[in-house]
Structure 1
Amino acid sequence: MASSLKSERIYHVFLSFRGEDVRNNFLGHLYKALDQKGIYTYVDSEELRKGEQIVPALMKAIEESHIAIIVFSKDYASSSWCLEEVARIMDCKEDRNLLVFPLFYKVEPKEVRTPREKYKEAMLKHESKFGTDSKEVKRWKKALFDAGSLFGWHLKDG
């Protein structure tokens, strides 16, 4: 592969999360713990610069990371941005050997994989918006299944 096609790995970790679920509690603690260990972590609120286009900046940051931690929370799948992130993360896992670690925050891994409960509800809304045969929705479902099938951390409380 030509060197011009390879992205330089800038970040140690990329954190994918649904902001309103975890930003002001769990995520802050996780980010602080990583930072204290000298682990350079991409968090959208910290790294995005004014005037940057959000989606291209996020996709580039995923490609420039060694590891992705996906914090699956109850409303993660309701965000099409989060679903785009998880799909790109899983693409980079295959294409660029990105290490991916799921963290199931107050959701069961099977809820993410299958999808069930809040995840099923969210995917039905996406299907009604984009269509049942939508390439995006199929890609998102596959990414959720693949990421939800990885061994990770399961946090029920705290």
Structure 2
Amino acid sequence: MENSEAGTRTDDTLGGEYQVFLSFRGLDTRRGFTNSLYHALVDAGIRVFIDDEALQAGERISGKLLRAIDLCKLYIPIFSKNYASSPWCLRELAKMVENTSKSKEDRKKVILPIFYDVKPDDVKLKTTLYRNAILNLKQKIEDQKKKFRSKDVETWQQALKEVDGTRGWELEKYSG
């Protein structure tokens, strides 16, 4: 995997503190928007954590990934059409929301959401897009002998709704 002085991937050591954690649905944005954002941040000298492509959807989040989230000061979830269909993305988001709510003023952690081909109302569960994704995950709980707990799904829904109070960027409002 790629390694630069500022940017990091999951196969790098976690010795230094990250500044930014990018959370995204790889199928939707990895090779386009997320890759461009990652390189722009790295080129600006910012230490960025981005997962590597070896991470599989539905796997348990490793301790390494959770630790990376804990180390970051700034979280950038890139909400896209399929973000809420990924239990992994939702676990990351729940951890980000938990960390920001626990952070102290002197070590404040911040979420800066980006809405990529979705509206804030989709993320807030006010439309069918993310609500249906959550319903599908609930169905998987029943179908896969509780691969996810219903408490997990409730936590993910709450995390999505909590992002409601955070101002983000709707990419469709910007050209280029």
The equivalent position to 1:55 in structure 2, one of 59, 62, 71, is 62
Structure 1: which 5+ residue stretches go unaligned?
A: 1-7
Distance 1:10 1:153 in 2: 26
State the AA in 1 paired with 2:156. W
Shift of 1:120: 1.5
Shift of 1:87: 0.2
Structure 2: which 5+ residue stretches go unaligned?
A: 1-14, 143-148
Q: Which moved more, 1:95-104 or 1:81-90?
A: 95-104
Match of 1:127 in 2: 138
Match of 2:158 in 1: 142
Distance 2:28 2:164 in 1: 18
Shift >6 Å, 4+ stretches: none
Match of 1:79 in 2: 86
Q: For residues 115 and 126 of structure 1, do their structure 2 counterparts lie closer, same or farther at Cα, with a shift above 3 Å needed?
A: farther
**Identity across matched positions, percent:** 39
Q: For residues 143 and 43 of structure 1, do their structure 2 counterparts lie closer, same or farther at Cα, with a shift above 3 Å needed?
A: same
Query: What RMSD in Å do the two structures reach over aligned CA positions?
Result: 2.1
Q: Determine if contact 1:84/1:140 at 8 Å carries over to the other structure.
A: yes
Distance 2:126 2:84 in 1: 10
Matched residue SS, 2:111:
strand
Is it true that 1:16 corresponds to 2:52 in the alignment? Answer: no
Which structure ranks higher in relative contact order (CA pairs < 8 Å, sequence separation ≥ 6)?
Answer: 1
TM-score, normalised to structure 1, is 0.84
